[in-house]
Amino acid sequence: MKSLTPAFSSRLLTALALFPALLLAACGGGSREPTPSNGMGRDAARLGAGPAATPAAANVPKIVAFGDSLTAGYGLSPQESYPSLLQKMIDADGFKYEVVNAGESGGTSAGGVRRIDWALDAGNVRFLILELGANDFLRGQPVAETKKNLSEIIVRARSRGAEVLLAGMYTTTESGRDYGVQIRDAFQSLADEHQVVLIPFFLEGVAGLDEMNQEDRIHPNAAGTRIVAANVYRHLKPLLEKEGRK
């Protein structure tokens, strides 16, 4: 995988400077986030509580969006979440996949390890969009531990035939600049070690912009989420095209 370019790094640092606690993600501006009624992605809640999928539904190729509140769509209607918008983009381009929202507010990388097998039970999961780590970093968890957990998720997903798209995260907590560098390097290292596609910064074009975020200045609003979905699709579409040529 290619390293971040100087120009991108400059834009990233500018975004981070605009707000001192980027990516509190599912923690709502403090040590805990109030869990909303849609705190887990609607698809994830349905899969966990409903009957087993029918054979026809299980055979539809799946793209599982696996993450925290940024994936679940905190503060948004289900139709405004990035996985729902991603589904529309995929449909418009004629790809035949079902996007499953497996986001969970408050999600951490350790929690992701515990629930990844359940998420993959959606059946015929071809791609996993892995967006976790922000809540780990808010709590100052050692980056090596987060990296270990994300690596485990990647390995399990690939062992079941899913290709992984890894979403990079950054933070400017009180842990300091060195901690931020460790986070950046961890995501790049994961992408290199596992040979997976890396979205360098999940919130590129959204982080630090009041007009793109909800009142908490943490979670994207509807406009910001449209940019997030476009960012994700820009990296996902080539994978779908490659899959279609097989």
Q: Which residue in 105, 109, 136, 219 is the catalytic one?
A: 219
The encoded tokens of residue 89 equal 């983009």
Q: Which residue in 43, 68, 69, 81 is the catalytic one?
A: 69
The encoded tokens of residue 221 equal 């609003």
Half-sphere exposure (CA, 13 Å, Cβ side) for 137? 29
> Is 235 a known active-site residue?
no
> Is 69 a known active-site residue?
yes
The identity of residue 89, as a single letter, is: M
Q: Which residue in 9, 151, 216, 235 is the catalytic one?
A: 216
DSSP β-bridge partners for residue 198:
166
DSSP 190-228: HHHHHT-EEES-TTTTTTT-GGGB-TTSSSB-HHHHHHH
The encoded tokens of residue 139 equal 């709590």
**Which DSSP symbol is given to 176?**
-
> Is residue 137 within 8 Å of residue 171, measured between CB atoms?
yes
> Is residue 44 within 8 Å of residue 104, measured between CB atoms?
yes
Catalytic machinery residues: 69, 216, 219
